[in-house]
Structures are given as C-alpha cells and as structure tokens.
Amino acid sequence: AQSVTQLGSHVSVSEGALVLLRCNYSSSVPPYLFWYVQYPNQGLQLLLKYTTGATLVKGINGFEAEFKKSETSFHLTKPSAHMSDAAEYFCAVSVLKAAGNKLTFGGGTRVLVKP
C-alpha cells in the first residue's frame, strides 16, 4: 500500500525567506508524485507533479520539488516566500489502477507567512 508522510502540520516563515515543506512516501512501484495547494475556502489545485525523467520539477508560483528515490522524498521549496503563499499544501502519491489513477494524500502542511 502507498502512503505519504508530511513532516510538520504547520510551518511559519517570514516574507522573503525560504519555504521548505517535507514529504516522504512509500510505494511498491515507481511513483507518480504531486504537490497540491489549497487556499482558504477553495478546493485543491495542482502545484507540480513528477512522472519520469528530470528529478527536479518546477511548478507554478515559483515552487519546485526534487524527487530523491534513495531517500523516498519529494520535498517542496520556494526560495522567497510571499504573503500570497499562505495556504495548506498537500503531497500525494498516485497509484495506477485498472482504469485510472488514485491519489493518496499526506496530512497537509499549513504555511503561515509573517510580514
């Protein structure tokens, strides 16, 4: 069975500081990995995804994530936090079923950005 662990349910960063959100996964097969973001009172939207190939994946709003197979990690980073980055972030691993994929999500990390 697949699982995802996000370290830290809450992260507080200063505006302009590095954002680092940690995600570790377990999967019996090569995984597809995702980061989603949820702004207040909204559904989730895709930040970025890893399928195959280049292990450093760039997403929207200046975020990127690096797939490290040896560490079973897919940490999300942004060099300089902006106030608009305050949101909840979810890491997910995909399982390919007979007719499509099914995502398993981590517990989420809520990001607070201080001025």
Minimum CB distance to other proteins smaller for 32 or for 74: 32
Q: What's the CA gap between 50 and 59, in Å, rounded?
A: 10
Minimum CB distance to other proteins smaller for 20 or for 96: 96
The answer to whether the beta carbons of residues 11 and 103 sit under 8 Å apart is no
| Residue in 5, 45, 57, 9 with CA at minimum distance from that of residue 27 | 5
Binding positions for other proteins, rule: CB under 8 A = 4, 6, 9, 32, 34, 36, 41-46, 49, 51-52, 90, 92, 94-108
- Minimal distance, residue 115 CB to other proteins, in Å: 25
- Minimal distance, residue 15 CB to other proteins, in Å: 25
Q: Look up tokens 């505006």; give the residue.
A: 15
